[in-house]
Chain A
Amino acid sequence: MPESRLPNIRVWLLGALVVASLFMIAFGPAFLDRFALNVLSRSMIYAMLAVTVDLLWGYAGVLTFGQAAFFGIGAYATAMVLTHLGSSPELMLLAFVLAILVPLVLGVVVGWLSFGYGATPLYATVISLVLPIVVTQVAFSGGQWTGSSSGLVGYATLPLSLAGYFRLTGICLLAVAAAAWIFVRSDAGKVLVAIRDNEARCAYLGLNASRIKIALTAVLAGVTGLAGFLFANASGVVAPENTGFVFGTELVIWTALGGRGTILGPVLGTIGIDYLSASLSGQLPFLWKLIVGALFVAMIILLPNGLAGLVGKILPRSKGSRGEGGPLRQAQVMQAPQDVVDKPPLLTIHDLGKSYGSLNVLQGINLTVQPGELVSLVGPNGAGKTTLMRCLSDGTESISGSVSVRGANIAGLAPDAIVALGVGRKFQVASVFDSLTVAECLRMARAARYRPSLVHSSQELDLPSAAVEILKLTALDGMLDRPVSALSHGLKQSLELTMVVALEPQLILLDEPTAGLTKTERMTIGTILKKLTGELGLAAILVEHDLDFVREISSRIVVLHQGQLVLDGTVQDVVNSELVKAIYSGGAHD
Chain B
Amino acid sequence: MTILLDVITTAAILFVVAAGLLAIFGVLKIINFAHGAWLTVGGYCAVATTGMGLNPWLALPVAFVVGSALGGITEVLVVRPLYRRPLDAILATWGLGIVVGQLITLWFGRDVQFTPNLLSGTINVFGLDYSFYRLFMVLAALVVGLGFAVLLEGTRLGLSARAVIMNETLARALGIDTAKVRLTTFMIGTGLTALAGVLLTPLTSVDPDMGLAWLIGAFMLVMVAGSSFGALAVACLVFGGAQTLVSTFVSPVLGGITVAVLCALVLRISPKGFARA
Contacts and interface: CB of A to CB of B under 8 A. Distances in A.
Interface stretch (A112-120, A172-180, A414-422, A468-476): A112-120
A137 B250 CA distance: 14
B106 A293 contact: no
A234 to B, nearest CB: 27
Contacts of A134: 257, 260-261
B204 interface: no
A289 B102 CA distance: 7
B103 A290 contact: yes
Contacts of B256: 137
Given A123-B268, A125-B87, A297 B216 contact: no
Given A133-B216, A300-B95, A126 B267 contact: yes
A171 interface: no
Contact of B264 (A63, A130, A249, A252): A130
Interface string B69-105: 0000000001001100101101110111011001101
Residue of B85, B95, B261, B267 with highest tally of chain A CB at under 10 A: B95
Nearest to B80: A301
A304 B87 CA distance: 11
Given A137-B253, A141-B254, A301-B78, A293 B95 contact: yes
B90 A125 contact: yes
A129 B271 contact: no
A130 to B, nearest CB: 5
A286 interface: yes
Given A120-B271, A127-B264, A133-B216, A300 B91 contact: yes
B99 A141 contact: no
A287 interface: yes
A129 B257 CA distance: 12
Nearest to B217: A133
A130 B261 contact: yes
A294 interface: yes
A256 interface: yes
B220 interface: yes
A247 interface: no
A141 B106 CA distance: 33
Contact of A141 (B88, B212, B223, B251): B251
A129 B94 CA distance: 13
Contacts of A293: 95-96, 98-99, 102
B88 A300 contact: yes
A51 interface: no
B94 to A, nearest CB: 6
Contacts of B220: 126, 129-130
A253 interface: yes
Nearest to B257: A137
Contacts, number: 95
Contacts of A252: 91
B98 A289 contact: yes
B16 to A, nearest CB: 22
Nearest to B212: A246
Contacts of B212: 246
A126 B263 CA distance: 10
Contacts of B253: 137, 140-141
A297 B99 contact: yes
A63 B271 contact: no
B215 to A, nearest CB: 9
Contacts of A96: none
A297 B96 contact: yes
Interface in B255-277: 256-257, 260-261, 264, 267-268, 271
Interface string B223-263: 10000000000000000000000000001011011001100
Given A134-B257, A301-B81, A113 B268 contact: yes
B91 A256 contact: yes
Nearest to B85: A304
A123 B81 CA distance: 24
A454 to B, nearest CB: 27
Contacts of A254: none
A120 B261 CA distance: 17
Contacts of A296: 91-92, 95, 98
Given A125-B87, A140-B253, A286-B105, A297 B264 contact: no
B38 interface: no
Given A141-B251, A289-B98, A133 B257 contact: yes
Contacts of B88: 300-301, 304
Interface in A112-158: 113, 118-120, 122-123, 125-127, 129-130, 133-134, 137, 140-141
Nearest to A137: B257
A286 B98 CA distance: 10
B90 A63 contact: yes
Contacts of B264: 113, 126-127, 130
Interface string B98-123: 11001101100010000000000000
A429 to B, nearest CB: 17
Nearest to A284: B106
Nearest to B271: A120
Nearest to B268: A113
Contacts of B92: 296-297, 300-301
B102 A119 contact: no
Contacts of A129: 216, 219-220, 260
B95 A126 contact: no
Interface string A282-311: 000011011011101100110010000000
16 contacts: A63-B91, A113-B268, A123-B271, A127-B264, A129-B216, A134-B261, A141-B254, A253-B91, A256-B91, A290-B102, A292-B98, A297-B95, A300-B88, A301-B78, A301-B82, A304-B85
Interface of B: 78, 81-82, 85, 87-88, 90-92, 94-96, 98-99, 102-103, 105-106, 110, 212, 216, 219-220, 223, 251, 253-254, 256-257, 260-261, 264, 267-268, 271
Closest 7 A-B residue pairs measured CB to CB?
A: A293-B98, A290-B102, A296-B95, A297-B95, A141-B253, A293-B99, A300-B92
Interface of A: 63, 113, 118-120, 122-123, 125-127, 129-130, 133-134, 137, 140-141, 245-246, 249, 252-253, 256, 286-287, 289-290, 292-294, 296-297, 300-301, 304
